[in-house]
Structure 1
Amino acid sequence: MAKRPRRSPQDKEPESGRKSVAGRYLYFSVFLSGGSILVMEIAAGRVLAPHFGNTLYTWTSMIGIILAALSLGYSIGGRLADRNPSTKLFFMLMLGGAGLVALVPALRGILLPTMEESLSLQSGPVFAGLLLFAAPGCVLATLTPFAVKLAARGEGSLGAVTGNLFTWSTVGSILGTFATGFVFIPFFGLNGIFLTTAGALVLTALFGLYLYGDLASLFSKRNARASTFLGVFVLATMGTGAAWLGVIPGVDKNTIWVRENMYHMIRVFERAEAGGVRVREMFLDHQPEGAMVLGDDRKFFYEYTRFLELGPLFVPHMKRAIFIGGGAFTMPKALHLMKPEVSIEVAELDAEVVDAGSRFFRLGKFPKLENLVGDGRRILRSSKEKYDFIVGDAYRGLRNIPPHLVTREFFEEARERLAPGGAFMLNLIGYRAGAGGAIYASVYRTMNEVFPEIFIYSTDPANPYTAQNILIFAFRDADPGRFRRVSEAMRRDQKFAFAARARVSPPGARLYGPVLTDDYNPVEYLIERGL
Structure 2
Amino acid sequence: MSSSTPEVVDPPAEAGPPPVRALPAGLAAFLVFFSSGAVLVLETVALRLVGPYVGVTLQVTSSVIAVALAAIAYGAWAGGWIADRRDPRPLLAPALVLSAIATAVTLPIVRYAGESLRGGAESAVLLLTALAVFVPAMLLSAITPLVVKLQLADLRRTGQVVGKLSGIGTLGGITATLATGFVLVATLTSTTIVLATAVALAVVGIGLWVHLRRQDQAGRLPGPARTRVALTVLGLVGAGLTTIAPNPCDIETAYHCASVEADPARESGRTLLLNSAQHSYIDLADPTHLEYEYTKWFGAAANVVAPVGDRVDALHLGGGGFTIPRYLTATRPGTDNLVFEIDGGLVDLSRAELDLRTGPQFRVRVGDARMLLTAEPSASRDLVVGDAFGHLVVPWHLATREMAAEIRRVLRPGGTYVQNVIDYPPLRFIRAELATVAAEFEHVALIAPPASLAGRQGSNFVIVASDSPLPLPALQNQLGTLTEPVRLLSGAELAEFVDDALVLTDDYAPVDQLLATA
What's the TM-score, normalizing by structure 2? Answer: 0.87
Tell me how far apart the structure 1 counterparts of residues 407 and 138 of structure 2 sit (CA, whole Å). 47
Partner deviation per Cα, 1:479-525 (whole Å, 9 max, x = no partner): 6xx335656xx3xxx79623996333337458784221111111111
**What's 2:14 paired with?**
none
Paired position in structure 1 for 2:383: 389
Q: Which residue of 1 aligns with 2:318?
A: 325
Q: Is the 8 A contact 1:438 1:511 kept in 2?
A: no
1:285, 1:507 → 2: CA distance? 35
Q: Of the candidates 258, 281, 285, which is equivalent to residue 275 of structure 2?
A: 285
Aligned with residue 42 of structure 1, among 35, 44, 55: 44
In 1: Cα distance, 2:223 partner to 2:209 partner: 17
Q: Is the 8 A contact 2:479 2:486 kept in 1?
A: no
2:450 is paired with a residue whose SS is coil
The answer to whether the aligner puts 1:483 opposite 2:477 as a matched pair is: no
Alignment partners' CA distance in 2, 1:222 and 1:29: 19
| Larger displacement relative to structure 2 (84-93 or 504-513) | 504-513
CA–CA distance in 1 between the matches of 2:414 and 2:295?
Answer: 22
| 1:507 to 1:53, Cα distance in 2 relative to 1, 3 A | farther
SS at match of 2:440: coil
- Provide Cα deviations, 1:393-450, integer angstroms capped at 9, x if missing partner: 11366x322111111111111111111110000112234xx42x11111111111221
**Which residue does the alignment assign to 2:487?**
503
DSSP-derived class of the 1:167 partner = helix
* 1:341 corresponding residue in structure 2: 334
- Among candidates 266, 270, 273, match of residue 258 of structure 2: 266
**Counterpart code for 1:114:** S
Partner of 1:526: 514
Counterparts of residues 194-273 of structure 1 (less than 5 Å): 194-213=194-213, 223-244=224-245, 247-249=246-248, 258-273=250-265
CA–CA separation in structure 2 for the residues paired with 1:222 and 1:392: 61
Change beyond 3 A, Cα 1:503–1:59: same
Cα deviation 1:263-307 (Å, max 9, x = unaligned):
11111111321xx53411111113222112232222222232222
**Separation in structure 1 between the aligned mates of residue 451 and residue 223 of structure 2, nearest angstrom:** 74
Aligned partner of 1:359 in structure 2 is 352
2:188 maps to what in 1? Answer: 188
Measured in 1, the distance between the counterparts of 2:88 and 2:441 equals: 69
SS at match of 2:169: helix
Preserved contact between residue 42 and residue 180 of structure 1 (Cα < 8 Å): yes
1:78, 1:145 within 8 Å by CA — same for their partners in 2?
Answer: yes
The residue type equivalent to 2:511 in the other structure is: V
Q: 1:52 to 1:90 in 2, by over 3 A?
A: same
Q: Could you report, residue by residue, the CA deviation over 1:208-235 in whole angstroms, capped at 9, with x for unpaired residues? A: 1111227987978982333333332233
Question: What does residue range 50-65 of structure 1 map to in structure 2 within 5 Å?
Answer: 50-65=52-67
Partners of 1:185 and 1:262 within 8 A in 2: yes
Q: 1:69 aligns with which of 59, 71, 95?
A: 71
Structure 1 residues 219 and 102, CA, compared in 2 at 3 Å: closer, same or farther? farther
| 31-40 or 367-376, which deviates more | 367-376
How far is 1:40 from its partner?
Answer: 0.1
* Residue segments in structure 2 that go unaligned for 5+ positions in a row: 1-20
Task: Please give the alpha-carbon distance, in whole angstroms, between the structure 1 residues aligned to 2:388 and 2:163.
Answer: 46
**Paired residue secondary structure (1:232):** helix
Partner Cα distance (2:81, 2:139) in 1: 13
Identify the residue that residue 471 of structure 1 maps to in structure 2: 462
Cα distance, 1:114 vs structure 2: 0.7
Query: In the alignment, residue 421 of structure 2 is paired with which amino acid?
Result: L
Instruction: Give the fraction of aligned pairs with identical amino acids, expressed as a percent.
Output: 28
CA contact (8 A) 1:312 1:318 kept: no
Match of 1:527, as an amino acid?
A: L
SS of 2:364 mapped into structure 1: strand
Give yes or no for contact 1:102–1:237 (8 Å, CA) kept in 2: yes
Q: Deviations over 1:131-151 (max 9, x none)?
A: 221111111101011101112
- Distance change >3 Å, CA 70–CA 124, structure 1 → 2: same
Secondary structure (helix, strand or coil) at the match of 2:382 reads: strand
1:174 to 2:174 alignment: yes
- Change over 3 Å in CA distance of 1:110–1:463 after alignment to 2: same
Q: Residue 513 of structure 2 aligns to which amino acid in structure 1?
A: Y
Matched, 1:79 2:81: yes
Q: Does 1:405 align with 2:398?
A: yes
RMSD of equivalent CA atoms: 2.7
Task: Please report how far the alpha carbon of residue 365 of structure 1 lies from its aligned counterpart in structure 2 after TM superposition.
Answer: 6.3
Q: 1:168 deviation in Å? A: 2.2
Residue 314 of structure 1: aligned partner:
305
Distance 1:262 1:364 in 2: 22
In structure 2, the residue matched to 1:424 is 417
Alignment match, 1:133: 133
Would you say the 8 A contact 1:58–1:125 is kept in 2?
yes
SS of match in other structure, 1:423: strand
Once the 2 structures are TM-superposed, how far is the Cα of residue 237 of structure 1 from its aligned partner? Answer: 2.3
Aligned partner of 1:112 in structure 2 is: 114
Contact 1:181 1:262 (8 Å CA) reproduced:
no
Whether 2:290 is the aligned partner of 1:300: answer yes
Partner amino acid, structure 2, of 1:148: V
Separation in structure 1 between the aligned mates of residue 376 and residue 251 of structure 2, nearest angstrom: 30
Count of aligned positions = 487
Contact 1:73 1:141 in 2 (8 A): yes
Q: Counterpart of 1:213 in 2: which secondary structure?
A: helix
**Residues in 1 aligned to 2:467 and 2:506: alpha-carbon distance in whole angstroms:** 21
Which deviates more from structure 2 when the two are superposed, residues 224-233 or residues 85-94? 224-233
Quote the Cα distance in structure 2 between the aligned partners of 1:167 and 1:455.
56
Counterparts in 2 of 1:326 and 1:364: CA distance versus 1, 3 Å: same
d(CA) in 2 for partners of 1:20, 1:116: 48
* Aligned position for 1:7: none
The Cα of 1:162 is off from its aligned counterpart by: 1.7
Q: Deviations over 1:126-171 (max 9, x none)?
A: 2211222111111110101110111232112222222222222222
C-alpha spacing 1:510/1:474, structure 2 compared with 1 (3 Å): closer
Q: Does 1:461 align with 2:484?
A: no
Q: Report what 2:105 is aligned to.
A: 103
